[in-house]
Structure 1
Amino acid sequence: MKRILVVEDDVMLNSGLCYNLELDAYKAVPAHDAAAALEKIRDKTFDLVIMDVNLPDGDGFELCKKISAARDIPIIFLTARDLEADVVKGFDLGADDYITKPFNINIFRKKVAAVLKRSGEPASQKL
């Protein structure tokens, strides 16, 4: 079962994301701030991190740098920060996708599945 860390300070949104991810047979683990996310990453292995940029104790971009320096984990930003500069910064930091709020939950679920599929399978030799 794929494990996904959901870093979102809005408790209701975090809960809803985890619920929807579990509908797709993933193990969703909530974290409500950067410190909790780093602690969980130190203690457990994750197949994907979904994170907000605006966190109560820090910046999701900085958290992305810390996670990427320690582990090779795909990252999807899920945030209200929709300026072009923010989206570009997210990808420059290594994000695998950048989803802006508001968002469609069904499209979100498909994007999660696509990132996990790409990260979990070796590249095909067929062209």
Structure 2
Amino acid sequence: MIKKSILPVLLATVWISISEFVRNEFILKSDWTDHYENLGLIFPSEPINGAVWGIWSLCFAIGMYVISLKFSLVQTILLSWFLGFLLMWLVTGNMNVLPFGILPFAIPLSILEVFGAAFILAKMANRSK
């Protein structure tokens, strides 16, 4: 049970967390901080924000695992990306806190993130539909 469900979810969580951190703290940090500054806000980067992103990563990995039980790898990637990123960007864009200029970078990087997590889940659970 642990090898086929908990361990893959934990490793996918680690992959998602690292991907999120690298994308948002190294590649796109200035875009985020500049956008928030232009709104008269401070970009939230306190440790509690990192902890919440860690919880988001775990929840996303669990959701991807459940999706992967019923769908192929490609379907899992597409469904997960739609639910995890497209919907998040629609909401944050609607609230005006999404710097739209990041999307040419964030979209392919988020697809890579979802692919990596789905691949981990499929390979570790010995599913390759």
What's the TM-score, normalizing by structure 1?
A: 0.28
Larger C-alpha radius of gyration, 1 or 2?
A: 2
Q: Which structure shows the bigger proportion of residues in helix conformation?
A: 2
Q: Which structure shows the bigger proportion of residues in strand conformation?
A: 1
Q: Point out which structure has higher relative CO (alpha carbons under 8 A, 6+ apart).
A: 2
